[in-house]
Chains A and B, each alone.
Chain A
Amino acid sequence: RKEVEQDPGPFNVPEGATVAFNCTYSNSASQSFFWYRQDCRKEPKLLMSVYSSGNEDGRFTAQLNRASQYISLLIRDSKLSDSATYLCVVKTGANNLFFGTGTRLTVIP
């Protein structure tokens, strides 16, 4: 079983739509969780960390469910500029980072 599993998509949504991505992880000892965004031909960049209590940054909301071992990312009022691949990342131990395969999002005008 993979450390991190993520639906690769693609998700094609109209502008203004709300879209949610989920990601599951296998190691219950995982400590830190992140969502990264990767644009085509660029390196991944940190979008937001995911905290146990859930956290919001503008149109983006991240949540963690430790009991079910999944994290989610909700994007409200989608913009064209949100089109990218979203990677969930789980950290276990000091420096063991595990990446999901990424979910491709395309926001359509």
Chain B
Amino acid sequence: GAVVSQHPSRVICKSGTSVKIECRSLDFQATTMFWYRQFPKQSLMLMATSNEGSKATYEQGVEKDKFLINHASLTLSTLTVTSAHPEDSSFYICSAASGMATEAFFGQGTRLTVV
């Protein structure tokens, strides 16, 4: 099946710093990428949907200036958590879909801890 690579898998950062998470589709062109956040023992929460070359669409309650999403190419999307705070500590997962495929493929997730 298709592969989506997410990096880093784990990151610890200081409060106030920014963290960039990359999501790459390795063997297909991802016209759409989704970014999710998941707190312990809770379900996936969609943060934003991004289409290649256009601005991301953010879900209600997600600050677009805090969670910067860039989807500059068909194989790469990035999520930058700016001025991270301890409450941003979570599991962030991307998924990618193409117009040709019907299912979504997930990255391995990034566990962010802000200290």
Contact = CB atoms under 8 A, between A and B. Distances in A.
Given A42-B109, A102-B43, A97 B91 contact: no
Interface stretch (B13-21, B64-72, B81-89, B95-103): B95-103
A100 B42 CA distance: 12
Given A41-B111, A43-B109, A97 B43 contact: no
B91 A41 contact: yes
Interface of B: 1, 6, 31-32, 34, 43-44, 46, 49, 51, 91, 93, 95, 97-99, 102-104, 106-109, 111
Contacts of A101: 43
Given A44-B44, A102-B43, A49 B106 contact: no
Contact of A8 (B6, B31, B32, B43): B43
Contacts of A46: 1, 103
Contacts of B44: 38, 44, 87, 99, 102
Given A43-B106, A43-B107, A94-B99, A99 B46 contact: yes
